[in-house]
Amino acid sequence: MGVLGQDPRITDPEELTNACELAVAQAHVVVPGLVKDVTDGIFDVLGASAVSRSKALDRFWRNARTIATHNPVIYKARIVGDHRVNGTPMFGLNAIGEVSRSATS
């Protein structure tokens, strides 16, 4: 197995980019929910002290939530589904709205 479980003989940069984009999008569909569960658990266990500056968990929680909201899971799930069902090439979703293909490359 090669990078990301792909055929190690992939030499086409676009094909490798697609494989990487797919792996990132798939992870992003799952990871934000896991992070939310972990941060919720931290607050359940530690209560209000979980946000004290001395533990710096407030920063962890804020960063995790910011990443999850800046890269909406629903868009990543759509990209993965469109690729799996229709064979649509993977591309990074770096903006919301109409963006030309050259602007995302």
Name, in order, each residue with C-beta under 8 angstroms of 81's C-beta and a sequence gap of 6 or more.
Answer: none
Q: What is the pLDDT of residues 21-57, one digit of tens each?
A: 888 888 888 888 888 888 888 888 888 777 777 777 7
pLDDT above 70 as % of the chain: 78
What is the model's pTM? 0.63
Contact 22, 92 (CB under 8 A): no
| Rg, Å, the chain Cα set | 18
